[in-house]
Amino acid sequence: MNILVLGSGGREHTFAYQLAKSERCKNLFVAPGNAGTAAIATNISLCVTDFKAIEQCVLNNAIDMVVVGPEDPLVQGIVDYFAATPGLQKVQIIGPSKKGALLEGSKQRAKEFMMAHNIPTAGYASFTAQTLDQGKQFLETLKAPYVLKADGLAAGKGVLIIQDLNEAKLALAEMLGGQFGTASNRVVIEEFLDGIELSVFVLTDGKNYKILPTAKDYKRIGEGDTGLNTGGMGAISPVPFADDALMQKIEQRIVIPTVEGLHKEKIDYKGFLFIGLIKVGDDPFVIEYNVRMGDPETEVVLPRIKTDLVAVLEATYGQHLHTLDFELDPRAAATVMLVSGGYPEAYEKGAIISGIDTVSSSILFHAGTAINNGSVVTNGGRVIAVTSMDEDYKKAIKKSYQNIEKLSFNRMNYRTDIGFDLH
């Protein structure tokens, strides 16, 4: 098979790395990719929401399978585009239809879906500029902290958690006034759930599903989960507190009703579903759906799947996931993200990264890198995810930190406390 992975981050490098191992993978392409994917596949420069350019790339390279990494093309309907375009209809594209992708593209839609299918989530109401006053009144009925979410995609920045009631009212007005562009034309206000977060990843073919390893990511820039939100500074898998009892509840109360809900609503969904959860007491609640894999969670989840990834994705597209023999690596995985100094605010690109060739006991998944005059240089806020596997997560984390000692670039930054809350 000729396979194309869309995207350019650590998630996409991880997909490419796993796909490249398969005997069923003949030619592998990543678009646009990074310096890491260039070493194992052919990078193609294109924009992941330019469907015409993707069509050309698929036809020119006789692509049989497309794996969509990020949410934007899914929310914009890439799967529907393939279904409607002669010449692309036989291509096995992995990802939900536009209707399915709305579970991530609209927080309001996700809430309605959860309500319709009795899936546990925080109580909520949603408001527009016309109903700002009702929104403020609704805030008064809640207890602090207040959770305000832009309805649409806001590059991971659209959720505000505010302690003070008056500040929350002001923030609501600002959001509805266009703080996040059209993404905050509607704002979902949610009850605050107090607990510990984890993510569950599900692969579904629209009828059947497989639950992939759990993961926990560390979103804040600062040690001890402080400071600004980032795309993710590290992750571990499996999540130590996700025991059988909790996983049973998650499967029965959340995964099964979600997959059945998609099926009942006739939503075409052949792809990954990332369920963000908070465990309150002993009970799981959904805080969000993402219609793709997480980043950096992918960097710890996929390396733990031993089954040939091409076979897994073929079973997904062919709707026979139930017949797939799914084998996991019992070892734990941890990843630590090296980021550019200043990230998630302004940062510089183009710093030469040294030491890459000296690391052998961790896998370096490139996130924001490029090649410049033969050197690997930084090309983003998140630069490299250092993934390690070992018998438990503590050993895996330690291995990543040991290997990070060998890597350097100007203003390199990373969290030294990944996993701190689990000990």
Residues that bind ligand AMP (CB under 6 A): 122, 147, 149, 159, 190, 192-193, 197, 276, 287-288
Q: Nearest approach, Cβ of 20 to ligand GLY (angstroms)?
A: 22
# residues contacting ligand GLY (CB under 6 A): 6
By CB under 6 A, tell whether 77 contacts ligand GLY: no
- Cβ closer to ligand GLY: 260 or 421? 421
Q: Nearest approach, Cβ of 7 to ligand GLY (angstroms)?
A: 11
By CB under 6 A, tell whether 419 contacts ligand GLY: no
CA neighbor of 375 nearest in space, from 339, 396, 341, 349: 349
Site for ligand GLY in 287-326 (CB under 6 A): 290, 294-295, 297
Q: Nearest approach, Cβ of 246 to ligand AMP (angstroms)?
A: 18
By CB under 6 A, tell whether 151 contacts ligand GLY: no
By CB under 6 A, tell whether 381 contacts ligand GLY: no
Binding partner of residue 77 among ligand AMP, ligand GLY, none, CB cut-off 5 to 8 Å per kind: none
The encoded tokens of residue 6 equal 């869309």
The angle that helices 132-141 and 165-174 make with each other, rounded to 10 degrees, is: 150
Q: State the amino acid at position 223 in one-letter form.
A: E
Q: Nearest approach, Cβ of 413 to ligand AMP (angstroms)?
A: 21
Cα separation of 167 and 175, whole Å? 12
Cα separation of 173 and 154, whole Å? 17
Residue with the closest Cβ to ligand GLY? 294
Q: Nearest approach, Cβ of 192 to ligand AMP (angstroms)?
A: 4
Q: Which run of H or E residues covers position 104?
A: helix 98-105
Q: Which residues of 225-234 are buried (b: 16+ CB within 10 A; e: fewer)?
A: eeeeebbbbb
Q: State the amino acid at position 62 in one-letter form.
A: A
Q: Which long-range contacts (CB under 8 A, 24 or more apart) does 173-176 make?
A: 173/132, 175/148, 175/150, 176/127, 176/128, 176/129, 176/132, 176/135
Contact 6, 54 (CB under 8 A): yes
Q: Nearest approach, Cβ of 66 to ligand AMP (angstroms)?
A: 26
Rg (CA), the chain: 21
Binding partner of residue 232 among ligand AMP, ligand GLY, none, CB cut-off 5 to 8 Å per kind: ligand GLY
Q: Nearest approach, Cβ of 419 to ligand GLY (angstroms)?
A: 16
- Cβ closer to ligand AMP: 90 or 143? 143
Cα separation of 377 and 249, whole Å? 45
Cα separation of 60 and 29, whole Å? 12
SS3 386: strand
Site for ligand GLY in 229-258 (CB under 6 A): 232
- Cβ closer to ligand GLY: 199 or 258? 199
- Cβ closer to ligand GLY: 254 or 376? 254
Binding partner of residue 237 among ligand GLY, ligand AMP, none, CB cut-off 5 to 8 Å per kind: none
Q: Nearest approach, Cβ of 200 to ligand GLY (angstroms)?
A: 13
Binding partner of residue 30 among ligand GLY, ligand AMP, none, CB cut-off 5 to 8 Å per kind: none
Binding partner of residue 159 among ligand AMP, ligand GLY, none, CB cut-off 5 to 8 Å per kind: ligand AMP
Spatial CB neighbours of 127, under 8 Å, sequence gap ≥ 6: 134, 135, 138, 172, 176, 186, 187, 189
Binding partner of residue 193 among ligand AMP, ligand GLY, none, CB cut-off 5 to 8 Å per kind: ligand AMP
Q: For tokens 């309805």, what's the residue?
A: 151
- Cβ closer to ligand AMP: 198 or 312? 198
CA neighbor of 165 nearest in space, from 187, 186, 138, 184: 138
Binding partner of residue 197 among ligand AMP, ligand GLY, none, CB cut-off 5 to 8 Å per kind: ligand AMP
Q: Return residues touching ligand GLY (CB under 6 A).
A: 217, 232, 290, 294-295, 297
